[in-house]
Amino acid sequence: MTDMMGSITPMKDREQMPDDVEELRFYGKQIYTTDYYIHGALGYKDYKANTIREEDKVVLDKTDFKSKRVLDIGCGRGEAILYAIRHGCKSVMGFDYSEDAIRFARDLLRRNGIDEEIVRVQDVIGFMRENTETFDIVMMLDVIEHLPLPVIRETLLHLRLIIPPGGILIVKTPYYRVFEDYISQGYKYIEPSESDTILPGAHVTKFSKGSLISLLEEYCFKCTTDYIFVRKPDKEYTQ
């Protein structure tokens, strides 16, 4: 993965820091390239085999997709979208701000005879500010750790509006010993992992299990099992 760094400018080394969304676009477009989706992102062999890696399947198997309206935020190569379709969802759409990711996803859908237009290039805040649809299930698989904390909060605020009570939010992310907000910490890690030394700033918000559960509780989502959160009734929302 070290070769993927190429000429990437680490966030902390840039002379001028734009707002969180523009920073996300700038840095992400350098990282999430074709090379990343082949060599960096886990599960490429599963993608080529028209399936999904076992680690993700175990999480998705905990949810009933039959006749559900599904949204995949940060859909990457599209494996979870294919999973939802194969498990009987009523409808599904996905987006990712990486153009290369969407090329992979559309190729996967074409290979399986599925309309490739159900995925598109878009960033999370742009989608949330434009969207008027509601969804029974929203998936964020290995996505939230790549978003700045203010972006996460705005996303969760909108998700509370578009997921009805009883709906499901799937947030799969690596758990760390301590919570870390890379930006507010001065573009430094408290406990850097091996991947942090390879692509510093790629994991810009790192959660412990407790900190993720606590954050989602703020926005009316209750953890029922690992990575699965149920939208609680509005009367339990305290913001």
Distance CA(65)–CA(228), nearest Å, equals 13
pLDDT of residue 18: 41
- pLDDT above 80 (res 2): no
Is a pLDDT exceeding 70 seen at residue 25?
A: no
Tell me how far CA of residue 64 lies from CA of 110, 187, 190, in angstroms: 25, 40, 38
The reported pLDDT for the residue numbered 27 is 62
The string of pLDDT tens digits covering residues 86-109 is 999 999 999 999 999 999 999 999
**What is the overall mean pLDDT for the chain?**
88
One-letter amino acid identity for 239?
Q
Distance (Å, whole) CA 172 – CA 55: 10
- Comparing 19-23, 32-36, 113-117, 197-201, the range with the smallest average pLDDT is 19-23
Spatial separation of the C-alpha atoms in residues 198 and 115, rounded to whole Å: 36
Asked whether the whole model's pTM tops 0.75, one would answer: yes
Look at residue 17 in the predicted model and tell me its pLDDT: 38
Q: What is the average pLDDT across 214-229?
A: 97
Altogether, the residues listed in the chain come to a count of 239
- Per domain, the residue ranges of the chain are 2-236
The whole-number average pLDDT for the span 45-53 is 97
Task: Record the tokens describing residue 105, joined without a space.
Answer: 């996803």
pLDDT band at 208 (very low <50, low <70, confident <90, very high): very high
Residues 35, 147: Cα–Cα separation, whole Å: 21
pLDDT-above-70 percentage for the chain: 86
| Structure token pair of residue 232 | 């609680």
Nearest to 174 by CA among 138, 148, 197, 207: 207
Segment 146-181, tens digit of pLDDT: 999 999 999 999 999 999 999 999 999 999 999 999
Token pair 């698989």: residue: 141
**Listed residue (105, 109, 145, 108) closest to 122, CA to CA:** 105
β-sheet with 119-121: strand ranges across: 119-121, 91-96, 69-73, 137-141, 168-172, 228-231, 221-225
Strands, E, within 132-186: which ranges?
137-141, 168-172, 180-181
Level-2 CATH architecture, domain 2-236: 3-Layer(aba) Sandwich (3.40)
Look at residue 234 in the predicted model and tell me its pLDDT: 81
